[in-house]
Amino acid sequence: MSTRSSCFRTPVSCSLADPETLKTVQNTIAKQLSVDVSTMTLETKFADLGADSLDTVEIMMVLEEQFGVSVGEGGAENIATVQDAAELIEKVNAAA
């Protein structure tokens, strides 16, 4: 019997973010970077979608506006994946 976590097979179950938050984040990233949302997973890195650091900051600014939160200075620096962005939004929402 394997002791591996089932989250390796089902990445959505590993996310701390709400499914609606994830969907909104994915759709926002797809729109900002002009990519097909179906090409993204939770682990998709912004860089793999062609984003640079300025794109990441812009994505986070749009997400802040959509969710009515502020991730603060440097918040975008720690964001590398779709899941990172969604979980940061959830964390900021929970702290509010």
Q: Which residues are catalytic?
A: 52
CA distance 93 to 44: 23
C-alpha distances in angstroms, 38 versus 31, 42, 77, 87?
12, 11, 25, 20
| Contact assessment for residue 76 and residue 56, using Cβ atoms and an 8 Å cutoff | yes
